């Protein structure tokens, strides 16, 4: 019992301090970084709509795995299994979670209209911890970046260091 309470305390403290969690839904090939809030004993997320974070692989009643990183160093602190539940729009639980999420949403395009848009277009999920902590893996589990045309891997032009050095001296 004491071990279970310590696990819950570790999960809660880590999730409260970190603004970002890595979530791998059941059957998802890789974990996805998602912003969240810790509210009433669970991780709460909003997304799935236009302009919000994607929530693929997270279905109501399903399971997932959450990894919390350190806010200051970015390293993995704790990994734990969760049960996913979708909060019904307009319910007291939904209202309470949205009030917390609204305060943490950065760069919202619609300000005070955000909760109404979330009710129409998005999903609010509650990820409640279940079971015990997963052991930390021995390897880094780093994934290669997704290929994109915006990424280039070419050598630095020979004249660039000289050009940058001249600009610094001119100041």
Domains by residue range for the chain, with CATH: 2-137 (2.30.110.10)
Buried b / exposed e along 99-128 (16+ C-beta atoms within 10 A): eebbeebeeeeeeeebbebbeeebbbbbbe
pLDDT given for residue 171 in this prediction: 59
What gap in Å lies between CA 114 and CA 92, rounded to an integer? 17
- 97 near 115, Cβ under 8 Å? no
pLDDT tens, residue order, the chain (171 aa): 678 889 899 999 999 988 889 999 888 878 889 999 999 999 999 998 888 898 888 999 999 999 998 878 878 889 999 999 999 999 999 999 999 998 888 877 787 888 999 999 999 999 999 978 888 777 777 777 777 777 666 777 777 777 777 766 665
- Sign of torsion, CA 52 125 79 137? negative
pLDDT given for residue 137 in this prediction: 77
- Closest by Cα among 97, 95, 88, 80 to 38: 97
- Closest by Cα among 96, 93, 95 to 116: 95
- Encoding tokens for residue 171? 């100041």
pLDDT given for residue 108 in this prediction: 77
pLDDT given for residue 89 in this prediction: 92
pLDDT given for residue 57 in this prediction: 87
* H helical segments located in the chain: 2-17, 92-104, 114-121, 160-170
């Amino acid at each position: 019992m004491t071990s279970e309470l310590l696990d819950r305390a570790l999960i809660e403290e880590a999730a409260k301090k970190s603004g970002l969690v890595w979530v791998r839904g059941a059957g998802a090939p890789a974990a996805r970084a998602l912003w969240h809030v810790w509210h009433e004993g669970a991780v709460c997320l909003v997304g799935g709509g236009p302009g919000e974070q994607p929530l693929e692989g997270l279905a109501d009643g399903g399971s997932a795995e959450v990894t919390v990183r350190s806010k200051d160093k970015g390293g993995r602190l704790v990994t734990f299994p969760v049960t996913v539940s979708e909060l019904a729009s307009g319910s007291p639980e939904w209202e309470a979670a949205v009030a917390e999420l609204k305060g943490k949403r950065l760069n919202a395009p619609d300000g005070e209209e955000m909760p109404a848009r979330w009710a129409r277009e998005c999903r609010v999920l509650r990820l409640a911890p279940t079971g015990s902590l997963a052991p930390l893996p021995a390897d880094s589990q780093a994934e290669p970046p997704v290929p994109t045309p915006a990424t280039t891997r070419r050598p630095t032009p020979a004249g660039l260091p000289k050009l940058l050095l001249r600009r610094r001296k001119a100041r």
